[in-house]
Amino acid sequence: MLKAVQKNATKGDPQSVISAIDHYCRNKEWAMNVGDDKGLILDSVLTEVNPSAALELGTYCGYSTVRIARLLSPGSKLITVEFNPAFAAVARQIIAYAGLQDKVTLVEGPSGDLIPKLRERFGVKSFDFVFLDHWKDRYLLDTKLLEDCGLLQKGTVLLADNVICPGTPEYLKYVRSSPRYESRYYKSNLEYTKLEDGLEKSVFLG
């Protein structure tokens, strides 16, 4: 994927990086990026929220990191968390190739340990936007952790990938039944396939 970006994309042009990854994953080797179909929903929700402090759980190779960072207003920041050092190393290069390294802080390690430290380490008061795309059995745990650490404020938007495929049943049940969230499903398809998948947008009500 990184080679495809270096070969086919233009340095400093985030859209060309996104297109190069989508073309590679559609024609050469599938990969678990949010992809171009769900990516358009991510773009529109992000533009609507226009966050000054955004968090991504699950950097993987940095595809959605680039999608998010390219739309941030000047001075806004994205913190992205990745557990796997090999993926993090690729993501750093892809983010840098897109020229977005000044807007993005990539933090390596497990979310359980890192989330409680985000305030003291990065001076984050709270997040306006959170993109969940990491291990599906951690979505609910980490959402509760974000609540408990006071990192969500009234109006914070959580956007979760893969709520249908591979699926995040407990997370969905929680955000759809809790009086503290206003939740809505955006139907789409699993990246680079015709299978159904979708994003769940949940607004924290405080």
Residues with catalytic function? 133, 136, 161-162, 191
Residue 166 interface partner, choices ligand OZS, Mg ion, none, CB cut-off 5-8 Å depending on type:
ligand OZS
Task: Name the nearest CA neighbour of 175 among 146, 151, 140.
Answer: 140
Residue with CB nearest ligand OZS? 111
CB 85 within 8 A of CB 106: no
Q: Residue 82, interface with ligand OZS (CB under 6 A)?
A: yes
Selected binder of ligand OZS within 64, 156, 162, 202 (CB under 6 A): 162
Q: Which is nearer to ligand OZS, 109 or 155 (CB)?
A: 109
Selected binder of ligand OZS within 64, 65, 111, 168 (CB under 6 A): 111
- The CA radius of gyration of the chain, in Å to the nearest whole number, is 16
Residue 27 interface partner, choices Mg ion, ligand OZS, none, CB cut-off 5-8 Å depending on type:
none
Stretch that binds Mg ion, among 110-118, 129-137, 150-158, 194-202 (CB under 5 A): 129-137
Look at phi and psi of residue 148 and say left if phi exceeds 0, alpha if psi is from -120 to 50, else beta: alpha
Task: Name the nearest CA neighbour of 134 among 157, 113, 110, 152.
Answer: 110
Q: Measured between alpha carbons, how far is 185 from 166 in angstroms, rounded to an integer?
A: 15
Q: Residue 200, interface with ligand OZS (CB under 6 A)?
A: no
Q: Residue 56, interface with Mg ion (CB under 5 A)?
A: no
Q: Residue 162, interface with Mg ion (CB under 5 A)?
A: yes
Task: Name the nearest CA neighbour of 71 among 96, 93, 97, 39.
Answer: 39
Strand order in the sheet with 127-132: 104-108, 77-82, 53-57, 127-132, 152-160, 196-204, 181-189
Stretch that binds ligand OZS, among 46-54, 66-74, 83-91, 119-127 (CB under 6 A): 83-91
Q: Which is nearer to ligand OZS, 103 or 138 (CB)?
A: 138
Q: Residue 133, interface with Mg ion (CB under 5 A)?
A: yes
Task: Name the nearest CA neighbour of 202 among 169, 166, 172.
Answer: 172
- C-beta of 59: minimal distance to Mg ion in Å? 11
